[in-house]
């Protein structure tokens, strides 16, 4: 995950809950992709603070540092080395076909693409294969990158000798949670509920959520299936979904009440996360030690992999 600072409910639902569950099944590695952040914005001044905030959110969400090392890409030098080797095994034409690159160029209105931006799926392949990763939890839009990783693993193995598995993407089960305005949830768009938000802030933000535009007055019948708030009820209030649907469709439930009920459920569901967050945030030295320990553990595995790479490549 790129270090974007404090995380929001979209991150929790789309990634963190899945990561926490996967800890019981796999040995997990959690990468803070600080070099990746430079592909679209070369300003590095906020990376350290943002990485810290993100680790606090990871810990608060339930990532267990004893089982799952967390580390910054920039602090494990082997990422850069494997990236360089992989970059010789893929053509620029293949990278130019990457659909998410085209989307980013369009969304960010980029006039030119940096060399490192074009090659970021190659760095991502190095991030995964350095730990000989077998499963990568991703959103659906990331599957093309996993395909590039698989191609690179196969090409390296065929050229030099078996070192890497061909990892599989595991798509997160819950569909993406939209922002309060119905667009993609993003802190910069101001449409997100942060994991650090207080109960009051959550209620205040929920009041601004878009609903069914046809339900103008309190007693108008609504269409829950086109309402953003209803999708939040599905996630955070599954036990009352049938009742909410009935109240909405009959016009007996008003949107303000409905939003406040939803806000209360979000507050309830995220209370343990907020509590743990406040605790970790008050102990920055402990968080930094967790990161240092994670980086040391990551370096051990990364260096084993690179020893095997050097061996099969006959590089000393």
Give me the residues that bind ligand SF4 (CB under 6 A), please.
211-212, 215, 222, 224, 227, 229-230, 244, 248, 253, 255, 258-259
Name the minimum Å distance from CB 174 to ligand SF4: 19
Name the minimum Å distance from CB 204 to ligand SF4: 16
Between 224 and 294, name the residue whose CB sits nearer to ligand SF4.
224
Distance CA 82, CA 88 (A): 10
**Reduced to 3 states, what is the DSSP secondary structure of residue 8?**
strand
Q: Is residue 121 within 8 Å of residue 148, measured between CB atoms?
A: yes
Nearest Cα neighbor of 16 from 273, 203, 267, 314 is 273
Alpha helices in 237-283 (DSSP H): 241-250, 255-281
Name the minimum Å distance from CB 224 to ligand SF4: 4
Name the minimum Å distance from CB 143 to ligand SF4: 32
Beta strands in the chain (DSSP E): 30-32, 70-72, 135-138, 168-171
Between 2 and 259, name the residue whose CB sits nearer to ligand SF4.
259
Name the minimum Å distance from CB 205 to ligand SF4: 14
Do the strands 135-138 and 30-32 form a parallel or antiparallel pair, or are they unpaired?
A: unpaired
Distance CA 120, CA 86 (A): 11
Between 99 and 238, name the residue whose CB sits nearer to ligand SF4.
238
Nearest Cα neighbor of 71 from 55, 59, 84 is 55
Name the minimum Å distance from CB 304 to ligand SF4: 53
Between 138 and 229, name the residue whose CB sits nearer to ligand SF4.
229
Between 7 and 180, name the residue whose CB sits nearer to ligand SF4.
180
Between 67 and 218, name the residue whose CB sits nearer to ligand SF4.
218
Q: Is residue 61 within 8 Å of residue 111, measured between CB atoms?
A: no
Between 84 and 216, name the residue whose CB sits nearer to ligand SF4.
216
Q: Exposure string (b/e) for 165-177, b if CB count within 10 Å is 16 or more?
A: eebebbebeeeeb
Name the minimum Å distance from CB 249 to ligand SF4: 8
Nearest Cα neighbor of 9 from 238, 274, 230, 282 is 274
Distance CA 41, CA 298 (A): 26
């Amino acid at each position: 995950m790129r270090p974007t600072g404090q995380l929001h409910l979209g991150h929790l639902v789309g990634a963190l809950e899945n990561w926490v569950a996967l800890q019981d099944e796999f040995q997990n590695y959690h990468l803070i992709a600080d070099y990746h952040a430079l592909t679209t914005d070369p300003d590095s001044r906020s990376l350290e603070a943002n990485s810290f905030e993100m680790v606090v959110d990871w810990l608060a969400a339930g990532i267990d540092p004893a089982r799952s090392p967390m580390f910054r890409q920039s602090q494990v030098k082997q990422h850069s080395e494997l990236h360089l080797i992989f970059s010789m095994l893929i053509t620029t034409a293949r990278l130019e076909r990457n659909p998410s690159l085209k989307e980013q160029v369009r969304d960010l209105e980029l006039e030119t693409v940096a060399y490192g931006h074009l090659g970021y799926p190659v760095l991502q392949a190095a991030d995964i294969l350095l730990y000989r990763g077998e499963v990568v939890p991703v959103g659906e839009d990331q599957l093309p990158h996993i395909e590039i990783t698989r191609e690179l693993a196969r090409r390296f193995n065929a050229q030099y000798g078996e070192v890497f598995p061909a990892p599989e993407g595991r798509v997160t089960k819950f569909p993406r949670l939209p922002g309060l305005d119905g667009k993609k949830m993003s802190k910069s768009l101001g449409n997100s509920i942060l994991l650090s938000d207080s109960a009051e802030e959550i209620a205040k933000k929920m009041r601004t959520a878009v609903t069914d535009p046809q339900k103008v007055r309190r007693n108008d019948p609504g269409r829950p299936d086109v309402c953003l708030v209803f999708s939040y009820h599905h996630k955070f209030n599954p036990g009352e979904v049938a009742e909410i649907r009935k109240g909405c469709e009959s016009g007996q439930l008003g949107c303000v009440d409905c939003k406040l009920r939803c806000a209360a459920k979000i507050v309830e569901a995220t209370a343990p996360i907020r509590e743990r967050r406040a605790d970790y945030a008050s102990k920055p030295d402990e968080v930094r030690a967790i990161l240092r320990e994670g980086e040391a553990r990551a370096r051990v595995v990364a260096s084993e992999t690179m020893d095997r790479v050097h061996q099969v490549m006959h590089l000393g």
